[in-house]
Amino acid sequence: TAPARDRLRIAIQKSGRLADPARSLLAACGLSWRQSRDKLFCFGESLPVDLLLVRDDDIPGLIADGVCDLGVVGLNELDEQAKARRQLGLADAYRPLRGLGFGACRLMIAVPEDWDWQGVQMLQGKRIATSYPAILSAWLQEQGVDAQVVELSGSVEIAPKLGTAEVICDLVSSGATLAANQLKPVEVLLESEAVLAGPAHALDDARAGLMAMLLRRLDGLSKVQD
């Protein structure tokens, strides 16, 4: 069994869309850290709650491995890695605990602007580029559509221009990136926002109390903001 720990460790994005809002939210919960914005690790001062600053993609795995107890991550990323684990026959390792009200976006299918969209059957036999292969393949199966999933780690929106795929499945917020690439969004696979993620199974040492306190403070905050 894992050694008991008396400090809580929260993984947040080091830089990117979720980095500043995650920090502000945790600060609003009364947490503070020694100044070390460029470091990987921030030692908690007001409470025994430390931060690990990482790439968002690493957050679900850090929770699964027990390196971190909590993480602030997009539901898109959490859901993708949860589905990928399930497709590999692995047990669930994490779950979303709270929606955090920032980082809103949708995972969508987008097609060339000049397509006359008639419905999902138009995807039959097509190549779809995405960074979310597990969510996409589960969705295609649900829709009864047979299409080829082309996994790309970035710049998915240029795949149709490059001829790597006809269609894409990517995150959309304003739609400006799609429009700039002569694509239009047609189907929603997932409504996403940043979530506080925790382990699938409850902790059983001092961290459990810290986690409960943090969740109470978070819930108190959302009441004030509403």
Footprint on this chain of ligand ATP (rule: CB under 6 A): 13, 16-18, 55-57, 74, 76-77, 103, 105, 171, 173, 192
Query: Which one of residues 25, 42, 56, 71 is an interface residue with Zn ion (CB under 5 A)?
Result: 56
Binding of Zn ion by 17 (CB under 5 A):
no
Would you say 96 or 112 has its CB closer to ligand ATP? 96
In angstroms, rounded to a whole number, what is the distance separating the alpha carbons of residues 149 and 156?
12
Residue 81 binding target from ligand ATP, Zn ion, none, CB below 5 to 8 Å by type: none
Sole window of 33-41, 55-63, 174-182, 204-212 interacting with Zn ion (rule: CB under 5 A): 55-63
Q: How far is the CB of 202 from ligand ATP (least distance, A)?
A: 26
Residue 160 binding target from Zn ion, ligand ATP, none, CB below 5 to 8 Å by type: none
In angstroms, rounded to a whole number, what is the distance separating the alpha carbons of residues 11 and 71?
4
Q: Which are the contacts of 108, defined by CB distance < 8 A and separation ≥ 6?
A: 169, 170, 171, 172, 185, 186, 187, 188, 189
Sole window of 3-11, 44-52, 54-62, 93-101 interacting with Zn ion (rule: CB under 5 A): 54-62
| Token digits of residue 1 | 């069994």
Would you say 67 or 202 has its CB closer to ligand ATP? 67
Residue 187 binding target from ligand ATP, Zn ion, none, CB below 5 to 8 Å by type: none
> In sequence order, what are the beta bridge partners of 1?
none
Sole window of 18-26, 57-65, 188-196, 201-209 interacting with Zn ion (rule: CB under 5 A): 57-65
Residue 64 identity (one-letter amino acid): A
Strand order in the sheet with 148-151: 148-151, 127-130, 167-172, 105-112, 183-192
Q: How far is the CB of 105 from ligand ATP (least distance, A)?
A: 3
Would you say 108 or 122 has its CB closer to ligand ATP? 108
Query: Which one of residues 57, 102, 149, 184 is an interface residue with Zn ion (CB under 5 A)?
Result: 57
Residue 169 binding target from ligand ATP, Zn ion, none, CB below 5 to 8 Å by type: none
Q: How far is the CB of 41 from ligand ATP (least distance, A)?
A: 16
Name the residues that contact Zn ion, by CB under 5 A.
56-57
